[in-house]
A and B are shown apart, each in its own frame.
Chain A
């Protein structure tokens, strides 16, 4: 795989995404050719180490959830590749990197043991008619791991681990009997019960009240530390990403515009979009007079966008060079700090 993305290939990577692209056709009617393509994800590349958490930050509609779904193979990419390098001890573990596109049939099961997802909406991500035990034990049951007793034991263990105690009182409840925070804990338990090495967390705290949000966040961090799980943490909240992630990638209309270590990105934002995002973060000071964010207009729909820089229409620093040239390549402007902008 050619390496044009974020930095030299790290030897210990877990996930390597290379030129990942997903276009959704816009159809006006059946039988007719698509009127255009939504460029939900366009040539996205990044790598994730074992146990690392990467935050994927961006406005709604910028394709961050699509990246998550591509990584867990809920969607198939239009172009580009994802390569997984699971620990050798992994179940059914083929040594060496695995190309996600080649995973089919039986290998899919082994893949599902390694890669799991936590969904955004805890109210809709569980079948309402199944008990908590059924929901959490489902990955074990469909993979045929253990017998019934074994599964009851594992589900009890994991319920205790995510802080739903006493676990036995939760086993045979239905999702609607639990609060939002409790449900999200169940969702985390379901993702972790099979022992994955990589979890895509799709805004797991955005639907919760602020009070239960921190609980879930520290739980996930604790689990990531203890179990050595790598997270792709999809969120629109920079504060959440800062709390949760080692590195942050900022997405704008299907492109990663900036990627750096968390503190580096927040302390030294280079891309104009990241700066605008940061200047919009609320400050807990009533006398604070906000500088208007240095950004114009509104997000444009990513339907067949012009080939120039995606941020051109809103960029305060846009030049004729930006207008006449394709979307800028991602370049390392400082060690480990990747930016896609001509003007930096």
Chain B
């Protein structure tokens, strides 16, 4: 059994009682103190985020879309019967003409194949979220690692990753995706991976590397070296945590890019997915309703508006987050 040193610290808000002798409690207290700190810094950041109206608005939009995504399976299980309301195989037998305009039974009407548009919209929301967030996560994990490693080691490693990034930026991403989807059957997950890898080794890596470069020359990196920290330790403990705020920001921007890319590919009919906002517009287009002006608005508007709203919400949310992360952008009150 390990006995604690006599001058065992008491953490803020605790009475100076003799410490319990077992080690587990000490770890627990340390973890608790860290948790409190994390909570506090989150609260501070949250307060700054709340000051920005755009941030709040975009957060509200994202929450609404998230609720929409959740609501679809619930509605399918309770109110909607699968035969009529399934987003892919359903058929609205209650309507004489397809596409039918909005009615009480079909709030957003039906599409040319007799499927409920609202059901399609809601079921797509979930996959858009999964696609966007997966792509963003992949992008950010790759870009943060690549950026930190390239900046820290410099030289050949840096040259390799940066030339790779230049190459990827020079490639027109959408055309590349079109070629890839013509060669392989791409589903949501594949698409998320491809977008993630392209973003992660591409532009985002360059931005995070430039940030890492400015961190690398700080005296605290030298201090960590003097403390005896290995290169791995320095990258993991000193460089990457300082990159994370910026990473989070670019995560938000990547979500936008991923949803856009999906919409374009689906519209061109190149993705192997059951339903998405892009496919909804694709269906309207193949039926010849896209150029029909505003008469068949319910075929285009819900999906189009959703794409626009969710993308701008993530983008503007990112901008608001930027203010939290980057104090220089904050408005000065004096």
- By a beta-carbon cutoff of 8 Å, the part of chain A in contact with chain B is 69, 72, 74, 108-109, 112-113, 115-117, 119-121, 124-131, 138-139, 142-143, 147-150, 152-154, 156-157, 160, 167-169, 171-172, 174, 187, 190-191, 194
Do B219 and A121 touch (CB < 8 A)?
yes
- CB <8 Å contact, B7 and A156: yes
Q: A72-B226, A112-B228, A142-B233 are in contact. Are A153 and B8 (CB under 8 A)?
A: yes
Give, as a whole number of angstroms, the nearest-CB distance from B152 to chain A.
15
Residues of B6-24 contacting chain A, CB below 8 A: 7-12, 23
Asked if A138 contacts B224 (CB within 8 A), the reply is: yes
Task: Check A168 against B226 for contact (C-beta < 8 Å).
Answer: no
Which chain B residue shows the least CB distance to A196?
B226
Contact mask for chain B residues 165-202; partner A; CB cutoff 8 A; 1 contact, 0 none: 00000000000000000000000000000000000000
Q: Is the CB of A128 within 8 A of B230?
A: no
In the complex, which residue of chain A has the Cβ closest to the Cβ of B159? A30
What interface size band does chain B fall in? Answer: 20 to 34
Known: A129-B242, A149-B4. A117 touches B226 (CB 8 A): yes
Contact with A along B269-304 (1 / 0, CB 8 A): 000000000000000000000000000000000000
Asked if B2 is at the interface (CB within 8 A of a chain A CB), the reply is: yes
**A119-B219, A142-B229 known; A153+B12 contact, CB < 8 A:** no
Contact B9 A171 (CB under 8 A): yes
Measured in the bound complex, the distance between the Cα atoms of B23 and A337 in whole Å is 56
CA distance A168 to B223 in the complex (A): 23
Q: Does B328 contact A (CB under 8 A)?
A: no
A108-B9 contact in complex given A119-B219, A142-B233, C-beta closer than 8 Å: no
Which residues, 209 to 229 on B, are CB-close (under 8 Å) to A? 218-220, 222-229
Query: Which of B23, B36, B222, B228 is the one whose CB lies under 8 Å from A119?
Result: B222
B27 in contact (CB, < 8 A): yes
Bound: A157/B9 CA distance, A = 10
Residues of A contacting B7 with CB < 8 Å? 153, 156-157, 160, 167
Cα A37 to Cα B222 in complex, Å, equals 23
Write 11 A-B pairs (CB below 8 A) sorted by A numbering: A115-B226, A117-B222, A120-B219, A124-B218, A124-B220, A131-B34, A138-B224, A139-B228, A149-B26, A152-B9, A169-B12
Give min CB distance, A86 to chain B, whole Å.
15
CA–CA, A148 and B24, complex, Å: 10
Instruction: Give, as a whole number of angstroms, the nearest-CB distance from A99 to chain B.
Output: 19
CA distance A130 to B237 in the complex (A): 9
CB distance from B18 to the nearest CB of A (A): 14
Residue of A nearest to B234 (CB): A142
Taken residue by residue from 67 to 81, chain B's Cβ proximity to chain A (1 for < 8 Å, 0 otherwise) reads as: 000000000000000
Chain A residues within 8 Å of B219, by CB: 119-121, 124-125
Cβ contact within 8 Å between B223 and A147 = no
Give the interface centre of B36, B37, B223, B241 by most chain A CB atoms within 10 Å: B223
Instruction: State A131–B242 Cα separation when bound (angstroms).
Output: 14
B184: shortest Cβ distance to chain A, in Å?
A: 39
State how many angstroms separate the Cβ of B234 from the closest Cβ of chain A: 9
Residues on A with beta carbons closer than 8 Å to the beta carbon of B229? 138, 142
Q: Told that A112-B226, A167-B9, A194-B227 touch, could you supply 18 new A-B pairs with CB distance under 8 A?
A: A74-B225, A115-B226, A117-B223, A119-B222, A125-B219, A130-B241, A131-B34, A139-B228, A142-B233, A143-B228, A147-B2, A149-B5, A153-B8, A156-B8, A156-B9, A169-B12, A171-B11, A172-B33
Contact A149 B23 (CB under 8 A): yes
Q: Which of B4, B36, B228, B233 contacts A153 (CB 8 A)?
A: B4
B30 at the interface (CB under 8 A from A): yes
B37 touches A172 (CB 8 A): yes
> A108, B228: Cβ atoms under 8 Å?
yes
Q: How far is the CA of A126 from the CA of B33 in the complex (A)?
A: 20
Residues of B within 8 A of A139 (CB): 227-228
CB distance from B47 to the nearest CB of A (A): 16
Residue of A nearest to B244 (CB): A129
A190 near B220: Cβ-Cβ < 8 Å: no
Shortest 9 CB-CB contacts between residues of A and residues of B:
A153-B5, A112-B228, A168-B9, A139-B227, A149-B26, A125-B219, A124-B219, A117-B226, A142-B229
For A128, give its contact among B10, B34, B242 (CB under 8 Å): B242
A148 is contacted by which of B26, B37, B218, B241 (Cβ under 8 Å)?
Answer: B26
Known: A125-B219, A168-B11, A171-B9. A152 touches B30 (CB 8 A): yes
- Identify which of A69, A129, A149, A194 gathers the most chain B CB atoms within 10 Å of its CB: A149
Complex CA distance for A142 and B233, rounded to whole angstroms: 8
Q: Is A150 touching B9 in the complex (CB atoms < 8 A)?
A: no
In this complex, what residue of B is CB-closest to A119? B219
With beta carbons under 8 angstroms apart, the residue of A131, A160, A172, A190 that contacts B223 is A190
Give CA–CA (A129, B41) in the complex, Å: 10
**Residues B227 and A138 in contact, CB atoms below 8 Å apart:** yes
